[in-house]
């Protein structure tokens, strides 16, 4: 079952989008009017939001066939792989292979181009000049190659301080005769080390329920992401899931989560004060996984964090996921990370990669927060649009746009 949200200027418009995207078999789960945000927009005509679902059929869905290896999303973007323990593993994309091939070809072209330039620079009949050029050129060449890769990183919005850090480390670690491939490999390894191995959810081996809290600003995608993870662990891996919503500031948020839990047949507790969380957790003691949704906080209002701190203190989660949208301004993301620095440990979960302009933010924010990465979400579709962060793909994308 694939669930999606559609927004239109009226019901007809929203339904048209549903039909175009999901076809005539789509089931309408919920329809409601929504107000646009912003003072002036509040007075404009409300929009219509339609929550629709379509059954993809047993052969197509990665939910109904855990471990079968692959799943293609509606947009044809990604595949997910599950292992025998039912852990969502790094996705495989067919286009990675072509990306790698393309990158290798470009690196090869660049090497040939640089060799041609150096040959042209060397006077044919002057052996003394030639030998001095040979002593001087290799270092020049190394710097130039590093510069080309650094420019690609900058082009992909990697923070200049991180680019300089990578460049100087690579420069000091490569020999003067290093080839383009050697340098590319060093740059790649440095990026991989900075991103670090992602840590998706691993269930406890004992009977204890694993408690996970989702935190982050309003609108970042906490509820949708929680629903994706709940659906995958419940349907794919047949795990027992309990959901707790503490986002009682927005009735719509609770309703949204209830819609998902109704469809998935999962139990939900809504708590109205942090003190109620202990009872809610006790009621779910037979579960494998307890997922807790929290209200979004303005990162500027530290007062609002008191309640969140209490929820975390009382629930004592094994994992906290801080959600950061890749569409949020870089400086705002830095402020958000700063405002959640009261959390001793958390994993970063990036949302809205499908709307992001580059991969640079992922490296920047991983470096600044200095925390492990986990998942990245790639669209609104529950549960398809989520995958484990693929650091290999990110590193290649960041280095790869070589224009020669």
Q: Which residues bind ligand GDP (CB under 6 A)?
A: 5, 218-224, 253, 296, 351-352, 354-355, 377-380, 385
Q: In the numeric block, which tokens belong to residue 77?
A: 């973007």
Q: In the numeric block, which tokens belong to residue 266?
A: 């999962």
Give me the residue label for tokens 């945000």: 37
- Which CB, 200 or 400, lies closer to ligand GDP? 200
d(CA 70, CA 78): 9
- Which CB, 351 or 364, lies closer to ligand GDP? 351
| Least distance from ligand GDP to the Cβ atom of residue 339, Å | 15
Burial class for 175, CB neighbours closer than 10 Å (0-12, 13-18, 19+):
exposed
- Which CB, 64 or 327, lies closer to ligand GDP? 327
| Distance of alpha carbon 132 from the chain centroid | 50
φ and ψ of 92, to 5 deg = -115, 130
- Tallying the residues shown for the chain, one arrives at 404
d(CA 357, CA 340): 25
- Which CB, 190 or 222, lies closer to ligand GDP? 222
| Least distance from ligand GDP to the Cβ atom of residue 218, Å | 5
The answer to whether the CB of 99 falls within 8 A of the CB of 399 is no
| Least distance from ligand GDP to the Cβ atom of residue 62, Å | 17
| Least distance from ligand GDP to the Cβ atom of residue 141, Å | 42
First-last CA distance in the chain: 45
| Least distance from ligand GDP to the Cβ atom of residue 257, Å | 8
| Residue 299 DSSP symbol | T
- Which CB, 146 or 220, lies closer to ligand GDP? 220
Q: How many CB atoms lie within 10 A of CB 401?
A: 15
φ and ψ of 381, to 5 deg = -75, 125
| Least distance from ligand GDP to the Cβ atom of residue 385, Å | 5
- Which CB, 224 or 261, lies closer to ligand GDP? 224
d(CA 236, CA 310): 33
The answer to whether the CB of 362 falls within 8 A of the CB of 373 is yes
Query: Which is it for strands 2-8 and 47-54: parallel, antiparallel or unpaired?
Result: antiparallel
The answer to whether the CB of 208 falls within 8 A of the CB of 282 is no
- Which CB, 253 or 280, lies closer to ligand GDP? 253
CA dihedral 300, 306, 312, 314 (to 10 degrees): -170
Q: In the numeric block, which tokens belong to residue 207?
A: 């009977």
The answer to whether the CB of 219 falls within 8 A of the CB of 332 is no
| Least distance from ligand GDP to the Cβ atom of residue 40, Å | 21
- Which CB, 149 or 375, lies closer to ligand GDP? 375
| Least distance from ligand GDP to the Cβ atom of residue 90, Å | 18
Measured over the CA atoms of residue 364, residue 370, residue 373 and residue 377, the dihedral's sign is negative
| Least distance from ligand GDP to the Cβ atom of residue 46, Å | 15
- Which CB, 224 or 374, lies closer to ligand GDP? 224
| Least distance from ligand GDP to the Cβ atom of residue 36, Å | 13
| Least distance from ligand GDP to the Cβ atom of residue 250, Å | 8
Query: Residue number with the shortest CB distance to ligand GDP?
Result: 221
Q: In the numeric block, which tokens belong to residue 29?
A: 């789960």
- Which CB, 222 or 347, lies closer to ligand GDP? 222
d(CA 244, CA 276): 10
- Which CB, 339 or 378, lies closer to ligand GDP? 378
């Amino acid at each position: 079952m694939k669930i999606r949200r559609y927004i239109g200027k009226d019901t007809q418009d929203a339904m048209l989008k549903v039909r175009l995207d999901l076809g005539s078999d789509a089931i309408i789960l919920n329809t409601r009017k929504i107000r646009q945000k912003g003072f002036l927009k509040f007075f404009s005509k409300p929009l219509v939001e339609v929550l629709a679902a379509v059954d993809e059929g047993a052969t197509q869905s990665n939910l109904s066939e855990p471990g079968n290896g692959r799943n293609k999303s509606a947009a044809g973007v990604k595949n997910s792989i599950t292992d025998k323990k039912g852990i969502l593993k790094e996705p495989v994309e067919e286009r990675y292979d072509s990306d790698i091939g393309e990158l290798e070809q470009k690196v090869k072209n660049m090497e040939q181009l640089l060799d041609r330039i150096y040959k042209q620079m060397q006077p044919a009949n002057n052996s003394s000049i030639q030998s001095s050029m040979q002593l001087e050129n290799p270092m020049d060449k190394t710097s130039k190659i590093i510069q080309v890769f650094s420019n690609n990183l900058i082009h992909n919005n990697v923070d200049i301080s991180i680019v300089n850090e990578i460049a100087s480390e690579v420069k000091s670690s490569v020999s003067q005769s290093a080839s383009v491939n050697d340098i590319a490999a060093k740059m790649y390894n440095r990026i991989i080390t900075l991103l670090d191995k992602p840590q998706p959810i691993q269930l406890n081996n004992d009977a204890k329920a694993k408690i996970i809290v989702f935190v982050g600003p309003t609108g970042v995608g906490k509820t949708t992401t929680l629903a994706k993870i709940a659906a995958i662990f419940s349907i794919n891996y047949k795990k027992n899931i309990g959901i707790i919503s503490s986002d009682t500031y927005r009735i719509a948020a609770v309703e949204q989560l209830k819609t998902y839990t109704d469809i998935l047949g999962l139990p939900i507790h809504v708590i109205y004060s942090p003190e109620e969380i202990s009872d809610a957790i006790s009621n779910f003691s037979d579960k494998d996984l307890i997922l807790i949704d929290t209200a979004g906080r303005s990162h500027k209002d530290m007062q609002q964090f008191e309640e969140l701190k209490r929820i975390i203190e009382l629930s004592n989660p094994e994992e906290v996921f801080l959600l950061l949208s890749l569409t949020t301004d870089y400086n705002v993301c830095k402020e958000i990370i700063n405002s959640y620095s009261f959390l001793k440990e958390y994993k970063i979960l990036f949302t809205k990669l499908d709307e992001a302009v580059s991969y640079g933010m992922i490296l920047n924010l991983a470096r600044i927060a200095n925390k492990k990465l986990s998942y990245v979400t790639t669209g609104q579709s529950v549960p398809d649009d989520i995958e484990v962060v693929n650091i290999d793909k990110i590193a290649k994308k960041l280095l790869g746009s070589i224009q020669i």
